[in-house]
Structure 1
Amino acid sequence: MSNTGTPQLTVRAVILAIVLAVVLSAANAYLGLFAGLTIATAIPAAVVSMAVLRVLGGGTILENNIVQTGASAGSSIAAGVIFTIPALIILGYWQDFRYSWVLAIAGLGGLLGVLFSVPLRRSMIVEEPLAFPEGKAAAEVLKAGENPGPGIRILALAGSLGAVVKLAAESGMRMISDNAVGSGFIGKYLAYMGTNLSPALLGVGYIVGLNVGIVVVSGSLLSWNIAIPLYHAFFLDTDPALAARIADAPAAAAAAQIWSAKIRYMGVGAMLIGGVWTLFTLRNSLLSGIKSGFAAARKGSSESVAETERDLPMKWMLVALVVFVLPLAFLYQAIVQQWTVSIPMTLIMIVAGFLFVSVSGYLAGLVGSSNNPVSGITIATILFASAVLLLLLGRQSPIGAVAAIMIGAVVCCAASVGGDNLQDLKAGYIVGATPWKQQVMLAIGAFSCALIMAPVLNLLATAYGIGAPTPEHPNSLAAPQATLMASVAKGLFGGELPWNMIAIGAGIGAAIIALDEWLKAKGSHFRVPVLGAAIGIYLPLELMVPIFVGGLITHLVERRHKLTQAPEEEKERAHRPGTLFSAGLITGEALTGIIIAIPIVVSGRADVLALPPAWHFGQWVGLAVVAIIGVMLYRVADRMRTPADTTPKS
């Protein structure tokens, strides 16, 4: 499809893309710190763009494509940042998020992701085209976007519901509880069950589906209903300090203490083995992608190409690469104060960045950006960087863990943006866009998101806390990936970790990998991704239950319409209304969480918005509210499924 001469990179499209990118990156930052997951933002942005530009007199398909391209940076930059940079707070290296440093890591890392992905476009999209499912879905939405009204109404309704529930929860007016939990002792057995009352997590579950929902909740059940009771019954005496802390504690508090001190590190071991396995399974694809990328770069520089095949010029890319890398080299030097260390750090970052952008792009082409295991890629980067830094700095270096995290943070941002860039370029390829204009727009969007990351993170950290719960912040944002990165780096550089639990987790991870390979060999539609199970082991059970319920709603919709064995494209169309409703729940709750953090920080009081006790209705009302929203999600997904439906899927 060719649209040569059609307006693309217009001023209004750029401004709208920046606004949406900033808003959606803030929402994804909250969601990622809260639940360890982010959502793709390109398709909701495309729907909003079509509606806004229509009000402004009408927009072309390529203008809308530019908007969704820039806005998609909202998920990629947020993921790159929240998976790594909070580790510097958790390690105690920073007391708050330093603006200039966060901007340099996120902004320059994102720009490197754009540059590294450019030579991969021709090989992965044109010559040996991968599926890029979200890119295809975005293109279909753009082509069928004559009537964006229904999609906007769904977004507005769901966003309002998510906002109201978040405002009524414990961090706001305290009308309903954040969690519904039941616990107790049955002899030595410590029983625990609970669920978070978050519409956003329900939406996340709908988007990821029942397979992932089963895997993550199974990981949590393993931790909370098997490992914690066993540890409490038979192994608590091996840690007298922990036993003393929970001697008179209620069952729920005792379970939380055992999980925090011991059991969650099984998730660390499973994630480590999962990250290594991910790279091993991609070894051939990685080499193939790199070779074809260089071949495509040489071919592109020697031939005259059409407008719809024109990438950023290679010579300017090389200049930009030097310009972007030099500030990072000086940043590393400011940390370690040794050029003999900062130069190898920079080289590791460049090599790992290009390699893992290739991996990320390939995975995005296979399974989509939302299922791209960027955290596994980052773990592998930190392990590799740590191995080199151990030789240069020694195991007792006080700065070694920080240096490894700094390398991993840049690579994580680059890999996340690179995979997302190729997804957007696939949509552009289908609708006839100009690649270099999309690449410029994604660079603008990524840097715009980087500008607001530090203030958003500081606001969330002050209002809610990040990392392990504290007396001041008992319901802090878990930041699971960043906590994992900090634990791994600290453990390698002189820190103390419960290595026995990590080893058990690694064994569990290996067993999960073996099970998944067996299911793959059988041709089973049900799979057990090791990183999904590891996240379940690592996070509180109550976060995983609503994700499972959301996935169950997805399955019920598919079964009702006989879609369980349908082609993926037909499923995409069927789920667009429900997915858009889910995206609205997530965005509404996340943005409200950021907004209500402002009066909390300004006043210094966590209860500044709380109503009098007579208005506190507890967990049962909260359960009823979330159940009603779940029914609404099912009805929207079911009733709105028509062949002509134009609402999108993330």
Structure 2
Amino acid sequence: MNNAAPAQLTFRAVVLAIVLAVVLSAANAYLGLFAGLTIATAIPAAVVSMGVLRLLGGGTILENNIVQTGASAGSSIAAGVIFTIPALVIMGYWPDFKYWWVLGIAGLGGLLGVLFSVPLRRSMIVEDPLPFPEGKAAAEVLKAGENPGPGMKILGISAAIGGLVKLAAASGLRIFPDAWAQSAYVGSSKVTAFIGTNLSPALLGVGYIVGLNVGIVVLSGAILSWHIAIPLYQAFFLSGNPDLAASLASASSSDAAFAIWGSQIRYLGVGAMLIGGVWTLFSLRKSLLNGVKSGFAAARKSSGPALAETERDLPMKWMLIALIAFTLPLLGLYQAIVGQWHVSIPMTIIMIVAGFLFVSVSAYLAGLIGSSNNPVSGITISTILFASVVLVLLLGKDGLTPVGIGGAPLGAVAAIMIGAVVCCAAAVGGDNLQDLKAGYLVGATPWKQQLMLGIGAFSCALIMAPVLNLLAHAYGIGAPTAEHPNSLAAPQANLMASVARGLFGGELPWTMIALGAGVGAAIIAIDEWLKKTGKRFRVPVLAAAIGIYLPLELMVPIFLGGLLAHLVERFHKLRADDEEGRDRVHRPGVLFAAGLITGEALMGIAIAVPIVVSGQGDVLALPLGGFAETWATLSAWVGLFVLFLVGLLMYRIGKKGEPAAKS
């Protein structure tokens, strides 16, 4: 009888994991810059792994688990990078994304995230287990992997749909625009009434994955911004800003709304994010302390008697050696920026301490609400705020010294660098614990998963700079310009740049930020009341802040996707507390949504290549000749109809989900 352990860390599993990690990280980079959100990729990666390994002769459940572990690094590294590093270009420190710097920040930050999360596994997964909903869902997919064919088919079809719609839109063939919108001035005070939606299937998919609760919250934040705050500002406060009022004197209603939002109202979202990040840390203070204590206690236990394979983590001795080895290059990186050892050494210490603390926070939040809803941006804001205060004390007036081609303040650049490393570490740390939960449920070896995640994270870091440069040259990143009127918004990176510059002499609308902090505090109070009264519906402050900070048209399809997910639940008559049934029902819909996101994002990257090579944004546009003017009036409605068809297909596939078992 053969009692050999099932294969896990095989060559083919490692190669497949790296390929999927690179592809999914590129897709998530595009999605994050476009919509300010990334999605967890473990479940799509698990389905693809099961299909590919079956074609290669069949794979074990533990091989498939290794593949989804490495591949899931694609979402975490992408989030860590696009939330922070574009701020260095937005501030004018870099003209473009420097390959070795991006690799150093993302690669070392990701590896630190793996190391910092290892001591937390036993406390959060074994001794005092947290739910880790996405890890549990990934384990269920792996266990049900006897027939991956239907899942592969759904992923393939939806990826093709997402890619074709993106190709047909404004960046490609220009058959229809990226958004449908209507606006008009109303009333004697000429306030703007604005409605609209982006026509992206990927955003519809994001909404299906995050669900109706988050969809309602982000749309409510956008309504607060666009239907309440902007009209109020136009009616009562625009006259107090004569420069802005003069620039809007002959503007269209839509241009006026976007100008007021861009210069004033979106900073309500900044204030809400700031208070949300601080609240996240404060509310988790006890859990954080307990998690760190139990993590070190578990690490001491692991050096004792021989453990079973399913309990073996990476050895603590080698982890400490690796920590030192990874920290020294970061010290050199900070020294290269500030040129002062009495500053670069404290910067490195802040990074190490904040990294470990926030990896613990990220892991805890991933255990409660999943990696997709993990407020890594709030964690990063807190890091940048704390680092900025320390740097102000250390650098003084030297912190205002302009550096880089655009003259960004030295202190702001240094704070962003710290935040970038911590953000990558926190994103990877939360993802690592999610994968380790799935591995725990299927009987995997922890150290092999931890090693695979490190390989996957570093592989993703290798391609981040080229992908970012390609997207920046083709679409633009940050504020719209004449060359790139529909640039990728990069909302978190813009926020990080604004906060860092504001603390080092930059001009910010502090009144709006203070009002936003008040709005955030009110949202937190409402959410705490909902929590105490046992309500299922919650109001996460960072989700609301994202809604305030981003254009309304991006939030509408996210809400619609969440509504479709809710209608699927209603069709299957799920109980409100039936999480297991909900996972089974939504699996086909989640795969369809993930395919839409991946297909659209990869097509967006593919379209960027001919745009960059030719230097023409309309290189792929269809020649419509004399029909162009007529088509321009109809095209947005065609795009709206296409989005409706995609949503209808998503609902029909969701209805075919496996119904929950009746009790």
Please confirm whether the aligned pair reaches a TM-score higher than 0.5, indicating the same fold: yes
| Structure 1 residue 35 corresponds to structure 2 residue 52 | no
- Give, in angstroms, the shift of residue 640 of structure 1: 3.3
1:423-572 correspondence runs (5 A): 423-563=434-574, 565-572=576-583
**Identical columns (%):** 76
CA distance in 1, matches of 2:475, 2:517: 31
- Structure 1 equivalent of residue 406 of structure 2: none
Normalised to the residue count of structure 2, the TM-score between the two structures is 0.96
Aligned partner letter, 2:6: T
Question: Are 1:377 and 1:412, in contact at CA under 8 Å, matched by a contact in 2?
Answer: yes
Question: Are 2:471 and 2:605, in contact at CA under 8 Å, matched by a contact in 1?
Answer: yes
- Give, in angstroms, the shift of residue 641 of structure 1: 2.9
CA distance in 2, matches of 1:4, 1:90: 54
- Structure 1 equivalent of residue 193 of structure 2: 191
Aligned partner letter, 1:628: L
- Structure 2 equivalent of residue 343 of structure 1: 345
Aligned partner letter, 1:36: G
- DSSP-derived class of the 2:153 partner: helix
**Higher mean displacement: 187-196 or 277-286:** 187-196
CA distance in 1, matches of 2:578, 2:373: 18
- Structure 2 equivalent of residue 414 of structure 1: 425
CA distance in 2, matches of 1:333, 1:493: 19
- Structure 2 equivalent of residue 258 of structure 1: 260
Question: Are 2:359 and 2:429, in contact at CA under 8 Å, matched by a contact in 1?
Answer: yes
Q: Which of 191, 206, 215 is the aligned partner of 1:204?
A: 206
CA distance in 2, matches of 1:527, 1:143: 31
Aligned partner letter, 1:540: P
- DSSP-derived class of the 2:192 partner: strand
| Structure 1 residue 621 corresponds to structure 2 residue 623 | no
- Give, in angstroms, the shift of residue 461 of structure 1: 0.6
CA distance in 2, matches of 1:479, 1:430: 36
- DSSP-derived class of the 1:371 partner: coil
Q: Deviations along 1:427-462, whole A, 9 cap, x unmatched?
A: 111111111111110000000000000000001111
Aligned partner letter, 1:356: F
CA distance in 2, matches of 1:58, 1:639: 27
- Give, in angstroms, the shift of residue 643 of structure 1: 5.9
Aligned partner letter, 1:14: V
- Give, in angstroms, the shift of residue 302 of structure 1: 2.1
CA distance in 2, matches of 1:276, 1:606: 41
1:382-393 correspondence runs (5 A): 382-393=384-395
- DSSP-derived class of the 1:224 partner: helix
Aligned partner letter, 2:644: A
CA distance in 1, matches of 2:425, 2:575: 35
Gaps of 5+ in 2: 401-408
- Give, in angstroms, the shift of residue 5 of structure 1: 1.3
CA distance in 1, matches of 2:162, 2:178: 13
Aligned partner letter, 2:140: E
1:51-450 correspondence runs (5 A): 51-187=51-187, 188=189, 189-394=191-396, 397=400, 398-450=409-461
CA distance in 2, matches of 1:451, 1:563: 44
Q: Deviations along 1:174-216, whole A, 9 cap, x unmatched?
A: 0011110000111222111110000000000000111110100
- Give, in angstroms, the shift of residue 6 of structure 1: 1.0
- Give, in angstroms, the shift of residue 303 of structure 1: 2.6
- DSSP-derived class of the 2:643 partner: helix
CA distance in 1, matches of 2:357, 2:461: 23
- DSSP-derived class of the 1:478 partner: coil
Question: Are 1:4 and 1:432, in contact at CA under 8 Å, matched by a contact in 2?
Answer: no
- Give, in angstroms, the shift of residue 40 of structure 1: 0.5
- DSSP-derived class of the 1:311 partner: coil
CA distance in 2, matches of 1:47, 1:560: 25
Q: Deviations along 1:473-507, whole A, 9 cap, x unmatched?
A: 11111111111111111100111100011011011
CA distance in 2, matches of 1:419, 1:639: 32
Aligned partner letter, 1:181: A
CA distance in 2, matches of 1:430, 1:155: 25
- DSSP-derived class of the 1:277 partner: helix
What value does the CA root-mean-square deviation take over the aligned residues?
A: 1.1
- Give, in angstroms, the shift of residue 566 of structure 1: 3.5
**Higher mean displacement: 606-615 or 505-514:** 606-615
Q: Deviations along 1:333-390, whole A, 9 cap, x unmatched?
A: 0000001000000000000001111111111111111111111111111111111101
- DSSP-derived class of the 2:621 partner: coil
- DSSP-derived class of the 1:422 partner: helix
Question: Are 1:386 and 1:492, in contact at CA under 8 Å, matched by a contact in 2?
Answer: yes
Aligned partner letter, 1:509: G
- Give, in angstroms, the shift of residue 105 of structure 1: 0.3
Aligned partner letter, 1:259: W
Aligned partner letter, 1:28: N
- Structure 1 equivalent of residue 403 of structure 2: none
CA spacing shift, 1:643–1:53, aligned 2, 3 Å: farther
CA distance in 1, matches of 2:320, 2:532: 43
- DSSP-derived class of the 1:369 partner: coil
- Give, in angstroms, the shift of residue 642 of structure 1: 4.2
Question: Are 2:582 and 2:660, in contact at CA under 8 Å, matched by a contact in 1?
Answer: no
Gaps of 5+ in 1: 645-650
- DSSP-derived class of the 1:413 partner: helix
Q: Deviations along 1:564-594, whole A, 9 cap, x unmatched?
A: 5132121111100101100000000000000
Aligned partner letter, 1:536: G
CA distance in 2, matches of 1:572, 1:52: 23
Question: Are 1:555 and 1:564, in contact at CA under 8 Å, matched by a contact in 2?
Answer: no
CA distance in 1, matches of 2:278, 2:580: 31
CA distance in 1, matches of 2:217, 2:246: 34
- Give, in angstroms, the shift of residue 4 of structure 1: 6.4
CA distance in 2, matches of 1:223, 1:634: 30
CA distance in 1, matches of 2:660, 2:144: 11
Normalised to the residue count of structure 1, the TM-score between the two structures is 0.98
1:632-647 correspondence runs (5 A): 632-642=649-659
CA spacing shift, 1:269–1:564, aligned 2, 3 Å: farther
Question: Are 1:4 and 1:307, in contact at CA under 8 Å, matched by a contact in 2?
Answer: no
CA distance in 2, matches of 1:322, 1:198: 45
CA distance in 2, matches of 1:362, 1:219: 26
Question: Are 1:215 and 1:528, in contact at CA under 8 Å, matched by a contact in 2?
Answer: yes
CA distance in 2, matches of 1:107, 1:506: 34
- Give, in angstroms, the shift of residue 299 of structure 1: 0.9
Question: Are 2:581 and 2:659, in contact at CA under 8 Å, matched by a contact in 1?
Answer: no
- DSSP-derived class of the 1:194 partner: strand
- DSSP-derived class of the 1:390 partner: helix
- Structure 2 equivalent of residue 647 of structure 1: none
Aligned partner letter, 1:370: S
Aligned partner letter, 2:551: P
CA distance in 1, matches of 2:69, 2:656: 30
